[in-house]
Structure 1
Amino acid sequence: MSLSVVVAGGGTAGHIEPALAFADAVRRLRPDAVVTALGTEKGLDTRLIPARGYALELILPVPLPRKPSADLLRLPGKVRSAVSRVREVLTKVDADVVVGFGGYVALPAYLGARGRVPIVVHEANARAGLANKIGARFAAKVVAAVPGSGLAGAEVLGIPLRHAVTTLDRAALRAEARQKHGLPADGPVLLVFGGSQGARSLNTALGQALPGLEHEGIAVLHAHGPANEPAGSSRGSADAPTAAASGSADAPTAAASGSADAASGYVPLPYIDDMHLAYAAADAVLCRAGAMTVAEVSAVGLPALYVPLPIGNGEQALNAAPVVAAGGGALVPDAELTGDRVLTELVPWLKDPERLAAMGAAARASGHADADERLANVVFGVVDR
Structure 2
Amino acid sequence: MRVVLAGGGTAGHIEPALALADALRRLDAGVGVTFVGTERGLETRLVPARGYELDLVPAVPLPRALTPQLLTVPGRLAGAVNAVAAVLDRVRADVLVGFGGYVATPAYLAAKRRGLPIVVHEANPRPGLANRLGAKLTDHVFTGFPDAAIPRAEFIGTPLRREIVELDRLSMGDKARSWFGLQTDRPTLLVFGGSQGARSINEAALAAAPALRAAGVQVLHVVGAKNTVEHEPPPGDPQYVLLSYLDRMDVAYAAADVALCRGGALTCAELTAVGLPAAYVPLPHGNGEQRMNAERVTAGGGGMLVDDAELSSDWIIDHVLPLLHDPERVAVMSEAASALGTKDADITLARKVLEIVR
| TM-score class normalised by the smaller sequence | over 0.9
2:337 and 2:288 mapped to 1: Cα distance? 21
Residue type of the alignment partner of 1:68: L
Residue type of the alignment partner of 2:63: P
Question: 1:179-198 residue pairs with structure 2 within 5 A?
Answer: 179-198=178-197
Cα 1:57–1:329 shift into 2, 3 Å:
same
Could you say which residue in structure 2 is the equivalent of 1:11? 9
1:324-375 Cα deviation digits (max 9, x unpaired) = 1111001100111122211222223211222211211111110111111111
The answer (yes or no) to whether the contact 1:306–1:329 under 8 Å persists in 2 is yes
Residues matched between the structures, number: 357
Question: 1:44-83 residue pairs with structure 2 within 5 A?
Answer: 44-83=42-81
2:236 and 2:245 mapped to 1: Cα distance? 19
Displacement of 1:226 after TM fit?
A: 4.2
Question: 1:270-309 residue pairs with structure 2 within 5 A?
Answer: 270-309=244-283
Displacement of 1:97 after TM fit?
A: 1.0
Residue type of the alignment partner of 1:15: H
Question: 1:88-107 residue pairs with structure 2 within 5 A?
Answer: 88-107=86-105
Cα 1:226–1:131 shift into 2, 3 Å:
closer
2:225 and 2:100 mapped to 1: Cα distance? 27
1:231-270 Cα deviation digits (max 9, x unpaired) = xx559xxxxxxxxxxxxxxxxxxxxxxx983423211222
2:331 paired with 1:333: no
1:82-117 Cα deviation digits (max 9, x unpaired) = 112222222221211110001111111111111510
Residue type of the alignment partner of 2:238: S
Residue type of the alignment partner of 1:306: Y
Cα 1:312–1:4 shift into 2, 3 Å:
same
The answer (yes or no) to whether the contact 1:8–1:99 under 8 Å persists in 2 is yes
2:25 and 2:227 mapped to 1: Cα distance? 38
Question: 1:101-140 residue pairs with structure 2 within 5 A?
Answer: 101-114=99-112, 116-140=115-139
Residue type of the alignment partner of 1:101: F
SS at match of 1:42: coil
2:128 and 2:225 mapped to 1: Cα distance? 28
SS at match of 2:100: coil
2:67 and 2:328 mapped to 1: Cα distance? 55
Cα 1:143–1:228 shift into 2, 3 Å:
closer
Could you say which residue in structure 1 is the equivalent of 2:215? 216
Displacement of 1:6 after TM fit?
A: 0.8
SS at match of 1:101: strand
1:6 and 1:274 mapped to 2: Cα distance? 26
- Return 5+ residue gaps in structure 1 as ranges: 236-258
1:166 and 1:71 mapped to 2: Cα distance? 42
2:122 and 2:195 mapped to 1: Cα distance? 22
The answer (yes or no) to whether the contact 1:140–1:382 under 8 Å persists in 2 is no
1:273 and 1:112 mapped to 2: Cα distance? 32
Displacement of 1:228 after TM fit?
A: 4.5
Question: 1:197-236 residue pairs with structure 2 within 5 A?
Answer: 197-226=196-225, 228-230=227-229, 233-234=230-231
TM-score w.r.t. structure 1 length? 0.88
Cα 1:185–1:260 shift into 2, 3 Å:
farther
1:148 and 1:260 mapped to 2: Cα distance? 47
Identity within the alignment, %? 54
The answer (yes or no) to whether the contact 1:260–1:267 under 8 Å persists in 2 is no
Cα 1:269–1:58 shift into 2, 3 Å:
closer
SS at match of 1:220: strand
1:332 and 1:13 mapped to 2: Cα distance? 23
2:74 and 2:349 mapped to 1: Cα distance? 32
SS at match of 1:294: helix
The answer (yes or no) to whether the contact 1:126–1:149 under 8 Å persists in 2 is yes
The answer (yes or no) to whether the contact 2:139–2:152 under 8 Å persists in 1 is no
Question: 1:227-376 residue pairs with structure 2 within 5 A?
Answer: 228-230=227-229, 233-234=230-231, 261-376=235-350
TM-score w.r.t. structure 2 length? 0.95
Runs of 4+ aligned structure 1 residues displaced above 4 Å come to 226-230
2:39 and 2:97 mapped to 1: Cα distance? 20
2:131 and 2:225 mapped to 1: Cα distance? 32
The answer (yes or no) to whether the contact 1:118–1:140 under 8 Å persists in 2 is no
The answer (yes or no) to whether the contact 1:127–1:148 under 8 Å persists in 2 is no
1:109-148 Cα deviation digits (max 9, x unpaired) = 1111115101010001121001100110121300111123
Cα 1:88–1:197 shift into 2, 3 Å:
closer
1:62 and 1:292 mapped to 2: Cα distance? 23
